[in-house]
Amino acid sequence: MSFGPSQTPTGELETRRVMNPSPIDLASVEYMVSNTCIADAWKKVKSNKGASGVDNISIEQFPKWGGPKWKIIKNQVKTGSYQPTPALRVEIPKESGGIRLLGLFEASLLLTLRAS
């Protein structure tokens, strides 16, 4: 983040914050996909006992499904080419009469997000 002069609509100068995008920290990505980090993330995901996501892969099914695919997913995350399936939006009725919007992610994305 830096500060720089900026002109307002009335022509006055003022100082504003300028957010500079930070480059991808490859050490962080390497850590995020490391076996240790993924094992910790898996423990967190499993302990939440969540339902199947948009990919219909349950917590019980994920090790059998995800194990063979993990090398591909890991490589995609490291190269920046990982393209997860879009989240599925579902409406959960509230007891108070409203609705709660919930996004269902695919299992591999949930695990990857927990690791980050």
* Alpha carbon distance 19, 10 (integer Å): 23
User: Is the pLDDT at 74 greater than 70, yes or no?
Assistant: yes
* Alpha carbon distance 8, 99 (integer Å): 41
**pLDDT confidence of 1, banded at 50, 70, 90?**
very low
pLDDT digits (tens, 9 = 90+) for 49-71: 767 777 788 878 888 887 778 88
Residue 6 or residue 60, greater confidence:
60
**pLDDT confidence of 5, banded at 50, 70, 90?**
low
Structural contact between residues 14 and 8, judged by C-beta atoms closer than 8 angstroms: yes
pLDDT digits (tens, 9 = 90+) for 16-42: 666 665 555 656 778 788 888 888 888
